[in-house]
Amino acid sequence: MLRFRFLAGLLVLGLTAGCKAQSTAPSGPDPALDRRIGIMVRSQYELPADMTVTLGARTPSQFTGYETLPVTITHGSNTQVVTFLISTDNTKLVHLDTFDLTKDPADAIPIAGRPIRGNPAAKVTVVNFDDLECGYCARLHAELFPDTLDHYKSLVRFVYKDDPLTDIHPWAMHAAVDANCLAAQSGDVYWAYVDYLHAHGGEITGSDRDLTKSFAALDRIAHQEATLGKLDETTLNACIAKQDQTQILASAKLAEDLGIQGTPSTYVNGEKVNGGAVPEEEVWMVIDRALRAVGEQPPPAPGSAPAPAPVASAPAGAGK
């Protein structure tokens, strides 16, 4: 599904070039001005030609010298209204985003009921939207475990949310369902299954890319991990056979609402890390920033020299 995305922050667009500004907005429709606004919106946001741009009625705004101008952008059945401010002299168009500082960005990603790796009481949470068939996800997973977990130890906890990209990864949904069936009984067994899949994705896909064989392999591995973890086989069998996608689809919908375009997508206490399998140094920078924000001292980077011990001052008159 197409997701409209626009520049954040304050964007001021000049609507006239070399023309003397009018002191007040003209009364009645102004097709030439509407045309300029439409072209400016299209060019600044690089809208495809098949998107329609429709201007709404102006209303008073809270900013002196500006009125509110709703602009509706439509593509097929998808519609989004973007609110602009337009100066009363018709020379400036402003896109101003308002952020609610009473809401914690970390609260936008619920993690209740998800398996936790690391210290459950840690003040910093790394949430990763994961696709179990995604090669880039496997690369990030290998950086997080064990390196990142070993580096931060009890200071950080890790949670995975499901976002299987079924258009390009045909067994990812089945894998997510099986993983959640294991998670319903044991978080440790869930993580063991996720570890295995990310390390052996090519084997599950197979050289012949037979989806039936991939599904069978996923189920077989899930049962092997369940046996090692001493889970209830009857409950697991029923869950795997049912292949209920409800929980996974809800997680994928959350990813869409967050504007996530691909996997992996990682958040640290609500702050998004640059998308994809970024180097672990970048992930650690964001984690360190989150730790300091909650009053925790990040561990020193590997190989860095320890901070010198403070030197006690000599008593007054000493050495004389």
For the cut 50, the answer to whether the pLDDT of residue 86 exceeds it is: yes
Would you say the pTM of this structure is higher than 0.85? no
- Domain presence at residue 199: yes
Of residues 305 and 126, more confidently modeled: 126
Q: Which is it for strands 66-75 and 52-55: parallel, antiparallel or unpaired?
A: antiparallel
272 and 130 in one domain? yes
Instruction: Give the C-alpha separation, 246 to 307, whole Å.
Output: 51
Helix ranges (H only) for the chain are 31-45, 135-142, 149-152, 172-183, 187-199, 201-205, 211-228, 233-242, 246-257, 280-293
- Lowest mean pLDDT: which of 25-39, 60-74, 111-125, 192-206? 25-39
Nearest to 43 by CA among 66, 70, 14, 18: 14
State residue 72's pLDDT score: 95
Q: Which is it for strands 156-162 and 124-130: parallel, antiparallel or unpaired?
A: parallel
Of residues 106 and 35, more confidently modeled: 35
- Domain presence at residue 5: no
Helices 211-228, 233-242: axis angle to 10 degrees equals 160
- Domain presence at residue 311: no
State residue 93's pLDDT score: 93
126 and 64 in one domain? no
280 and 198 in one domain? yes
Q: What is the dihedral of CA 217, 221, 223, 229, to 10 degrees?
A: 180
What confidence category does residue 290 fall into, taking pLDDT thresholds of 50, 70 and 90?
Answer: very high
Tokens of 204: 């599950």
Q: Tokens 């099986």, residue? A: 178
- Domain presence at residue 319: no
- Domain presence at residue 320: no
Q: What is the DSSP letter of 109?
A: S
State residue 309's pLDDT score: 57
State residue 119's pLDDT score: 98
Mean pLDDT, rounded, for 58-71? 94
269 and 180 in one domain? yes
Number of domains into which the chain is organized? 2
Instruction: Give the C-alpha separation, 206 to 200, whole Å.
Output: 10
Conformational region of residue 259, where left means phi above 0, alpha means psi within -120 to 50, and beta covers everything else: left
State residue 135's pLDDT score: 96
255 and 188 in one domain? yes
Mean pLDDT, rounded, for 66-93? 93
- Domain presence at residue 262: yes
| Domain coverage including residue 250 | 105-293
149 and 83 in one domain? no
- Domain presence at residue 300: no
- Sheet of 156-162: strand order equals 116-118, 156-162, 124-130, 265-268, 271-272
Is the preceding omega at residue 146 within 30 degrees of 0, hence cis? Answer: yes
Taking the CA atoms of the chain, what radius of gyration do you get in angstroms? 27
State residue 18's pLDDT score: 35
Mean pLDDT, rounded, for 34-44? 90
What confidence category does residue 200 fall into, taking pLDDT thresholds of 50, 70 and 90?
Answer: very high
186 and 61 in one domain? no
Q: Tokens 């997510």, residue? A: 176
Of residues 97 and 307, more confidently modeled: 97
Q: What percent of the chain has pLDDT over 90?
A: 72
- Domain presence at residue 310: no
Of residues 76 and 103, more confidently modeled: 76
**Mean pLDDT, the chain, integer:** 87
SS3 at position 157: strand
For the cut 90, the answer to whether the pLDDT of residue 266 exceeds it is: yes
48 and 127 in one domain? no
State residue 311's pLDDT score: 56
Instruction: Give the C-alpha separation, 287 to 73, whole Å.
Output: 37
Tokens of 142: 């290998």
Of residues 223 and 50, more confidently modeled: 223
State residue 28's pLDDT score: 59
State residue 304's pLDDT score: 67
State residue 3's pLDDT score: 39
What confidence category does residue 47 fall into, taking pLDDT thresholds of 50, 70 and 90?
Answer: confident
For the cut 50, the answer to whether the pLDDT of residue 10 exceeds it is: no
CATH of the domain at 190: 3.40.30.10
For the cut 70, the answer to whether the pLDDT of residue 108 exceeds it is: yes
Residue pLDDT, tens place only, 127-181: 999 999 999 999 999 999 999 999 999 999 999 999 999 999 999 999 999 999 9
What confidence category does residue 22 fall into, taking pLDDT thresholds of 50, 70 and 90?
Answer: very low
State residue 244's pLDDT score: 98
279 and 213 in one domain? yes
